[in-house]
Structure 1
Amino acid sequence: MYDSIPDILTTVAQRYIGDHPKHSFLFRAYHQGGFRRLGDYRYDLNLDAKWKKARAGQYVYVWGKLWSQQEATLNTGLNCYSPVTVYVNGEEIFKSELLQELFPERRTQIPISVKYGWNDVLLCFVKTEVGFGGIFGTVSFKNFPLHFLTPCVDRQGQEGWLYSEPVDETLSSLPRDGMTEEETGLSWYPRRDWTEGEKNVGAFARIFGTEQPAVAYAWSKLDVIQPGSSPVLLQGKHEGALTLYVDGKEIYSAGQSGNFRIELPRRYGPSDLVAKGETKAGSELWGFTLEDAKDSTAKGWRLRPPHPVAGCPDVWLYTGVFSPGSEPSPQDIVVTDTVFDDGAQGVYWHVDLPETSVRPYLENTHYGKWNYPLGVTLLGLLQIGQELGRDDYVQYVRDHIGLSTSFDRYGLWDREGYGAAGINNQLSAIDSLDDCGSFGSTLLAAMELGDIRGGRDTADRIAGYITDEQERLDDGAFYRVRGSGEMRQETMWCDDLYMSTPFLMRYGQLTGDTSYWDDAINQFLMFRKYLYIPEQQIMSHVYDFVRGRATGIPWGRGNGWVLFSLTELLSILPSDHVKRPELLNFYRDLCQGYLALQGENGLWHQVLNRPDSYEETSCTSMFIYAYARGIREGWLKQPEAYLDAVRRGWEGMTRLSIDYKGNVYGVCRGSGYSFTALYYRDDLGWILNDTHGIGIVLLAGIEAYKMNQQLCEGSIDSSVTAAQC
């Protein structure tokens, strides 16, 4: 199978990229008069704040819809401020009980069954003297937070919920998606339309107000769809000062209200059309109108949105306001990944609807997402792209990373302003090593090939979190106090060596600050103290500080992360470093321990010392990777046994773990922890094409391939020889 390693890796990579093609964030209109999300991504449906004059006993309906790619059961969480009934697709699925209503701090988990396509979710709350509404939404926001869209054809594509006026009786017929708001028989909020008076004051005035001297921008695309010699005619009127730009070049400017008529050379294709408006304090009118824009197609040109925004058909986006003289340049505002400096909290884009902002949302399952399994997946794609000369793989990885990092500042701003960001949900809310270290290490590896927009700022922020915010014991070792689940509190997980030390080593290399290397080294020495099982030369998965002991269970992938991370550390650490001999001996001890536990088919087991547990692909891949690297670098004494282990492991995986279409089998899903091996063996099953394993399979294959190539060339100073050259 060695001759076919590049073909196998290419097949796995092609399948992954084909299943998860490049796709940007989706931009949606968001009404700021709706419900704010909390830090756990659930919605605070506080109806007391919306209807302060509602009477006890009145009802308010809160209505949203949710898309599902398949029939599934989704876990949601509800805290009750008042009695509530929950309906999904017209069926009652939950009705609150007395204790839930009396203790709003208690969260109730509610599984909801959804069908393929759109699903109506309706909550009916009852006003009481002590509360009205509740908190509702996704439970697992770290993995894939749910965001609900507004139902009704009138607001198709907007994010958020509708809420009704208070009513004295419950509805005899529930509203359903596809209805207009009028067809439901209720009035719905937040408000949908401008008043007639607001429509007449100009777009800048109704969106931003005119209380103070200000500058604002509007941005559209001027798209010439028919070539020719006749000019493109732009004409209209404006209230307040106006300057127009095409691709950053000024084409019109007037310091006061007036009409304009501009003839532009007909240049086929799209151009950025930017309008900069300025008003003085107290002016009632502020805006502009471009005449004939709706009928321009017949003249061979049209206006279209610079970026599509679901929930708003307007062709213009608006941003502001800025103090006159301090506004960004028209060339700098034609982007969607930037929060513009207004001298205060910063501003982003709006649409011409009441209190309605533009927000990006991640609705891809993989591309553009930031989490730790995808960090190692992309690292695998990056390295095989480099080794096999596949620049398209390298660019795919850099584009995925860049989509996250270029929006990093925006994500932080969005979370601050709206409670929870629609993108970068882990990167914008870092509270664990899982959230940052794995993907951050891949970011640094990709930055070695060239700058990535926002990459250095993101890396600096991750380094700051790991150094200054991550919880540590008195000896400096990382451990978990907070996090997304009660199970993870007051524990040390061997997985966290991968979530931290490769990043620290690469960041120290980038900055020249070896204190990051010292930190990484200390983590290995401290984790060894708590988790090492010397009689077997392997690692316990978790140390539980509440119980004051390690679990004693050698979970396969957890051990794989340890050896993989130690291999990464040794690859960067200078040969004359004072701690290198101790770390190299630890590497050799672990290698010996794992070697003794390799299974009959060449794979290692889910629980390393339990042959009755299933053969697990991700830990096998990491042991192959570490052994092959050790052979190449000359770290292993008597390397023949490890060469045989690499061969057996890779050949076993090509028989049992990878099929001819590039699907990857036998990768354990994300884990909790237990003091019994039965949890890992029986409850912690494997998932097809799980991202915890795809990248490390690629890394194992490319490391085995490089090892074999060097053995064939005789460039490894060793007595071992390659079986096939």
Structure 2
Amino acid sequence: MTAGGYFHENDSIAGRTAGRPEGVLEAVANRFIGAHPALPPVYRVHSVNGFPRGADYRYVMDFTSRWPEMADGQFVYAWSRVWSDQEAEVPFSLSCFSPAKVYVNRSLVYESNLNDDVFPDRNAYFRTKLSRGWNHLVLEFVRTGTGCGGKFGTGSIKGFPLHVLAPTLDREGQEGWVYSAPQVLPLSVIPGGEDGEAVNAAFLYPEADWTADQRERGCFARIFGSHPGKLAYAWAKVENRGTGSRSVCLKGTFQGPAAVFLNGVPVFRSEEPAAEVSLELNVPCGCHELLVRSMGTGSHWGFTLEAEGEKVRLVPPYPVQGLPGTWLYLGPFSAAPDETGLCRMDTVFGEGEERTFWQADRPGARIRPYLENPMFGRWNYPLGVTLYGLLRTGVELGRPHYSDYAASHIGQCSSLFAYSEWDRETYGSPGVNHQLSLIDSLDDCGSFGAALLEAHRVKPLNGAPEAAARIARYITEEQDRLPDGTLYRVRGTTDFMKDTVWCDDLYMSTPFLSKYSRLTGDASYLDDAAEQFLLYRSKLFMPDRQIMHHVYDAKFGKGNGVPWGRGNGWVLFSLTELLALMPQEHKRRQEILSFFRELCEGYLRLQGTGGLWHQVLTDPDSYEEASCTSMFLYSFARGIRFGWLADAEPYAEAVWKGWEGLTRRCIDKHGNVYGVCRGSGYSFNPYYYKDGLSWLLNDTHGIGIVLLAGIERIRLEKHLAEHSGSLPQACL
């Protein structure tokens, strides 16, 4: 950091935009979107015959059950690989059922001790480096009287919901592990590295191939079993790679009554238990949906179908990594589902116990989506405010591609909501929407949920009402509360978080509750939001300074004494979200408005000489922090525009000064945002916040709120110009 900011003054964006806040918003939004393109989840084959995972995202490797005849002292191995975009140190966790070793790229990174081996309910945490590119993970277990195996996987469920890929060529692209049979001697060479792509003869499980008898029974029978009278489907595409319409002949055989549909139009139907087919069709250039429906009649049930024609072929209907062959399979169903809606990858099909998703033609092979993007399509609270900022930026600037990008991100999450709930119920840990599907805190739902509701207002999103209803149910019925109704943390990722009230959680709850009240017309949600502010005020407000403690710790019966910048910013920001939707006649409005004014007075006094607020608000030696600065500017500007502040003049000056400081000291000419505090824990020690809680470049805790602050800066200037310099009176 230079004396004047985080970079040289010549690199600031302030001197490059001719005083136009719009240019700042465009640079920040463009940089973020360019760095995180809109990509869908990756669909992969998953084997239900492999290791299951629990809600903690760890693989349960119980080799005692898999090899019940395994003798004490024998060895067994599990092997997988993970891709890393860059060199990074990552967290892992292992609970041992027996002695264990963990190798990463052939290097021993963890070995269990005598305690680990006899306490299978304990978690051993360790961190290790992953190299850029492929990294091979190998676990070695020894059978003892206590068992054999362990639970292995991520050491950070929320931050690093790791899934692994099979490392052998015959399972290329599939999710999961391969493992060995028991052996008397340990492996002389740990697999991985240069030979990682080769098939290792020791790793043959779970079984990847059908037996000859299973193949002879037909595809539906070997995948689903024998189900007389039930229906199953297969989906592929006919691809014409020519420049015009071409003739194609579909040839094959059917076991069981069947029908074939091309782009939803029936082109073949047979009620016979067995039939041969040769269909001459004319298909235009491009890809066309090919759907087969068949009814089971006995132990043999299936079909074969090939395409013959110049530059015409059958291809998989959707890119699925690790897919053997061309077709996806669905069923069995007692009654036909809506066949017009079958050719899709974002929904669960069927009713009741028959609810299911697509499968592949391999033992136990299921198709599942996995989110492998670092940002796009991810559901977490910092991204909630980032996307909120992008949504509003698109509307404010008349640039729909910003709003469309944010809505696409949010819509990807909401459209997969129902699927991810089923995925969690079926497989233990969902491959997408992991925080939404495994809600256990306000962080998991409120912030992103508020952005979801805003996006749904701009453009209706598939699955948004259902996801919002789940969030509302969690906050109102499941989230822990003190006897007086205060939302609080009865547990946390660490012991010190137990029994605490964080001012951050006002943002993780009240904006969503306010917006959900608007959506549903149910005033109880807005009433709850208002009550939370008054309850939090009673525990966290410092009346002498007119600012907030970061955390109230019920274990000690007091606040922690540290006015952390962003925590205070969340409070004021959230108050404006509530006040903007609160009816004038609401019974709590005057109390809420008074609280807003008190806080504004306190924060106004603490603005730094450079226009920014500090990481610790009362410590000018702590670093200038961009996210809290943006939230104070946003809130002051709204307070003026909506008439909430009686003496608006000093607050308007604070907005001009703060925006100038933000654009000169925290945003560079490329749209990079500096000085945003990383995600926090909490402490009674102010030096934790000042020295231990560092800032990050382009952290998502700050990008969206910088955009929102810029929008309010633009609106305030327009508002004051329209009023010819006359500031509005306070709205009483």
- Using the size of structure 2 for normalisation, the TM-score is 0.95
- Aligned partner of 2:487: which letter? F
2:230 aligns to what? 214
Task: Please name the residue that 2:715 is paired with.
Answer: 706
For residues 62-92 of structure 1, the C-alpha deviation after alignment (integer angstroms, 9 at most, x for no partner) is 1111111111111101111100111111111
Amino acid across the alignment from 2:284: R
Residue aligning to 1:289: 304
The CA deviation at 1:187 is: 4.2
- Following superposition, the deviation at residue 488 of structure 1 comes to 2.6
- Whether 1:565 aligns to 2:574 is yes
What SS does structure 2 have at the residue aligned with 1:184? coil
2:109 is equivalent to residue 100 of structure 1: no
Instruction: Name the residue aligned to 1:271.
Output: 288
Residues 592 and 57 of structure 1: is their aligned pair in 2 closer, same or farther, counting only changes over 3 Å?
Answer: same
1:652 to 1:335, Cα distance in 2 relative to 1, 3 A: same
Other-structure match for 1:445: 454
AA paired with 2:301?
Answer: W
Is 1:421–2:423 an aligned residue pair? Answer: no
Match of 2:514 in 1: 505
SS of the residue corresponding to residue 368 of structure 2 reads: strand
Q: 1:459 aligned to 460, 468, 474, which one?
A: 468
- CA distance in 1 between partners of 2:245 and 2:559 (Å): 79
Partner residue, 1:341: 350
Distance in 2 between residues matched to 1:544 and 1:366, nearest whole Å: 33
Amino acid aligned to 1:330: E
Specify which of 426, 433, 446 is matched with residue 442 of structure 2.
433
> In the TM superposition, what is the alpha-carbon distance from 1:230 to its structure 2 partner?
4.8
Contact preservation (8 Å) 2:552, 2:558? yes
Q: Secondary structure at the match of 1:564?
A: helix
Change (3 A) 1:232 1:615: same
- Relative distance call for 1:716 and 1:188 in structure 2 (3 A) is farther
The alpha carbon displacement at 1:473 in A equals: 0.8
Note closer, same or farther for the CA distance 1:229–1:99 as it changes in structure 2 (3 Å cut): closer
TM-fit CA distance, 1:114: 1.2
The change in CA–CA distance for 1:382 and 1:229 in structure 2 (over 3 A counts) is closer
AA matched with 1:310: Q
Check the 8 A contact 1:216/1:319 in 2, yes or no: yes
Residue correspondence of structure 1 range 10-29 to structure 2 within 5 A: 10-29=26-45
Deviations along 1:501-528, whole A, 9 cap, x unmatched?
Answer: 0011111111111011110010000000
1:576-596 Cα shifts (integer Å, max 9, x gaps)? 222111111100000000011
Matched, 1:315 2:326: yes
Q: CA shift at 1:270, angstroms?
A: 1.2
Flag the structure with more relative contact order, 1 or 2, with Cα contacts below 8 A and sequence separation at least 6: 2
Contact 1:87 1:94 survives alignment (8 Å): yes
Residue by residue over 1:253-278, the C-alpha shift from the partner in whole angstroms, topping out at 9 and shown as x without a partner, is 10121011222223121111100011
* Pair 1:121-2:134 in alignment: no
Partner amino acid, structure 1, of 2:59: Y
Give the C-alpha shift of residue 144 in structure 1. 2.7
Q: Give the secondary-structure state (helix, strand or coil) at the position aligned to 1:473.
A: coil
Q: CA deviation at 1:178?
A: 6.0
Instruction: Please tell me the residue identity of whatever aligns with 1:522.
Output: E
Name the SS for the 2:150 alignment partner: strand
Give the match for residue 578 of structure 1: 587
Cα distance between partner residues in 2 of 1:391 and 1:258: 54
| Structure 2: distance between partners of 1:276 and 1:594 | 67
Corresponding position: 1:667 with 2:676 = yes
Partners of 1:211 and 1:150 in 2: CA distance: 32
Alpha-carbon separation, structure 1, partners of 2:263 and 2:479: 46
In 2, are the aligned partners of 1:539 and 1:559 still within 8 Å (CA)? Answer: yes
Residue among 685, 690, 707 paired with 1:681: 690
Q: How many residue pairs get matched?
A: 712
Instruction: Name the SS of the counterpart of 2:434 in structure 1.
Output: coil
Amino acid at match of 2:427: Y
> In the alignment, what sits opposite 2:177?
161
* Larger CA deviation: 334-343 vs 639-648: 334-343
Alignment partner, residue 237 of structure 1? 253
1:605 aligns to 2:614 (yes or no): yes
How far is 1:40 from its partner? 1.0
Task: Name which of 208, 214, 217 aligns with 1:192.
Answer: 208
User: Cα gap change, 1:587/1:39 in structure 2, threshold over 3 Å: closer, same or farther?
Assistant: same
C-alpha displacement of 1:713: 2.2
- Separation (CA, whole Å) in 2 of partners of 1:66 and 1:180: 12
Q: In structure 2, how many angstroms separate the alpha carbons of the residues matched to 1:609 and 1:499?
A: 25
- 578-587 or 182-191: which moved more? 182-191
Distance, in Å, in 2 between the alignment partners of 1:596 and 1:7 is 30
Equivalent position of 2:276 in the other structure: 259
Aligned equivalents of 1:460, 1:182: Cα separation in 2: 48
For residue 634 of structure 1, report the CA deviation from its aligned partner: 1.2
- 2:173 matches 1:170: no
What is the alpha-carbon distance in structure 1 between the residues aligned to residue 685 and residue 271 of structure 2? 77
Question: 1:146-198 CA deviation, whole Å, 9 max, x = no partner?
Answer: 11111112211111111110000001111225648985341421011111222
The 5 A counterparts of 1:514-663 are 514-663=523-672
Counterpart-to-counterpart distance in 1, 2:72 and 2:598 = 70
The alignment partner of 1:527 has SS state of helix
Provide the rounded CA distance (Å) in 2 between the counterparts of 1:181 and 1:76: 24
Work out the CA distance in 1 between the residues paired with 2:351 and 2:276.
Answer: 29
Partner deviation per Cα, 1:330-350 (whole Å, 9 max, x = no partner): 211111111112431510010
Q: Distance in 1 between matches of 2:670 and 2:206?
A: 50
Identify which of 283, 302, 305 aligns with 2:313. Answer: 302
For 2:311 and 2:380, how far apart are their aligned partners in 1? 46
CA distance, structure 1, for counterparts of residue 354 and residue 573 of structure 2: 42
Deviations 1:17-60 (A, max 9, x none): 00011100000000111111111111111111211110111000
Match of residue 95, structure 2, among 68, 74, 79? 79
Q: Which residue of 2 aligns with 1:249?
A: 265
- The whole-number CA distance in structure 2 between the counterparts of 1:687 and 1:175 is 37
Q: Which residue of 1 aligns with 2:9?
A: none
The C-alpha deviation readout for 1:453-484, integer Å capped at 9, x for no partner, is 00111111111111111111111110011344
- What does 1:350-429 align with in structure 2 at a 5 Å threshold? 350-429=359-438
Given that 2:169 and 2:199 are in contact with CA atoms closer than 8 Å, whether structure 1 keeps it comes out as no
In the alignment, which residue of structure 2 is the partner of 1:723? none
Q: Does 1:491 align with 2:500?
A: yes
Cα pair 1:220 1:306 within 8 Å, conserved = yes
RMSD over equivalenced CA pairs, Å: 1.5
Give the direction of change, closer, same or farther, for the CA distance of 1:112–1:501 in structure 2 (3 Å limit).
same
Q: 1:56 touches 1:127 (CA, 8 Å); kept in 2?
A: yes
Give the 3 Å change call, closer, same or farther, for CA 677–415 of structure 1 in structure 2: same
Question: Which amino acid letter does the alignment assign opposite residue 37 of structure 1?
Answer: R
SS of equivalent to 1:476: coil
Aligned equivalents of 2:531, 2:566: Cα separation in 1: 22
**Structure 2 runs not aligned, ≥5 long:** 1-13
Partners of 1:64 and 1:149 within 8 A in 2: yes
Structure 2 letter corresponding to 1:678? Y
Please state whether the residue corresponding to 2:401 is helix, strand or coil: helix
> Residue 247 of structure 1 contacts residue 331 of structure 1 at CA under 8 Å; is this kept in 2?
no
Pairwise CA distance, 1:668? 0.3
SS in 2 for 1:331: helix
Q: 1:667 and 1:590 mapped to 2: Cα distance? A: 22
